[in-house]
């Protein structure tokens, strides 16, 4: 039996995102993000309920500041003590997994989608996606971009303004564009 475009997307294969199923899934996520972003910050329980409906998995102590945007939501998993500051975008065409006690600064982006390099292939609207994994006790500074296929290890700190193009090991401070390890951190 042939795979659906959604199954191909989640499997990391080439897929076409303009199918009715994926368009409906994105519309659902955008509508939930709109509802979330429209609620006053004081509506804590209602905001958490929307995130629980939107995300594949999240804990009761999740905290996300408005504005927040994602493509599908169901490919996002967040551990305990998860916090995102203002203006975060997660393009979750593949799985995006955050461990426990992850802190994300303002204006960060996590992008799993990969568009073809050639204009001819881009014109077909085909794309692929690779997962992003962030370990436990990670702090990501403001204005950080994390690209497809990246894993950030436990206890890592990613400096503000970094563009993370490759895996970052555990217990390090990494900064820059491209992001590079500049020192080990004591536990």
Instruction: Write out pLDDT tens, residues 81-135.
Output: 999 999 999 999 999 999 999 999 999 999 999 999 999 999 999 999 999 999 9
Q: Within the chain, which residues score under 70 in pLDDT?
A: none
What's the confidence (pLDDT) of residue 138? Answer: 98
Output the pTM of the full model.
0.96
The answer to whether 137 and 153 have CB atoms below 8 angstroms apart is no
Residues annotated as part of the active site: 115
Residue 94 DSSP class = S
What's the confidence (pLDDT) of residue 154? Answer: 98
What's the confidence (pLDDT) of residue 187? Answer: 73
CATH classification code of 5-184:
2.160.10.10
């Amino acid at each position: 039996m042939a795979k659906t475009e959604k199954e191909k997307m989640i499997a990391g294969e080439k897929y076409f995102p303009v199918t009715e199923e994926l368009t409906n899934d994105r519309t659902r996520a955008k509508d939930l993000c709109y509802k979330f972003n429209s609620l006053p910050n004081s509506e804590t329980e209602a905001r958490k309920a929307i995130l629980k409906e939107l995300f594949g998995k999240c804990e009761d102590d999740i905290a996300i500041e408005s504005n927040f945007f994602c493509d599908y939501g169901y490919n996002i998993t967040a551990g305990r003590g998860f916090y995102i500051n203002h203006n975060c975008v997660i393009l979750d065409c593949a799985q995006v997994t955050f461990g426990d006690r992850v802190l994300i600064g303002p204006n960060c982006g996590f992008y799993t989608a990969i568009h073809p390099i050639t204009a001819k292939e881009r014109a077909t609207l085909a794309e692929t996606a690779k997962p992003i994994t962030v370990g436990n006790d990670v702090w990501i500074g403001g204005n950080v971009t994390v690209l497809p296929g990246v894993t950030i290890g436990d206890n890592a700190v990613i400096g503000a303004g970094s563009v993370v193009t490759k895996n970052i090991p555990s217990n390090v401070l990494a900064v820059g564009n491209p992001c590079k390890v500049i020192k080990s951190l004591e536990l």
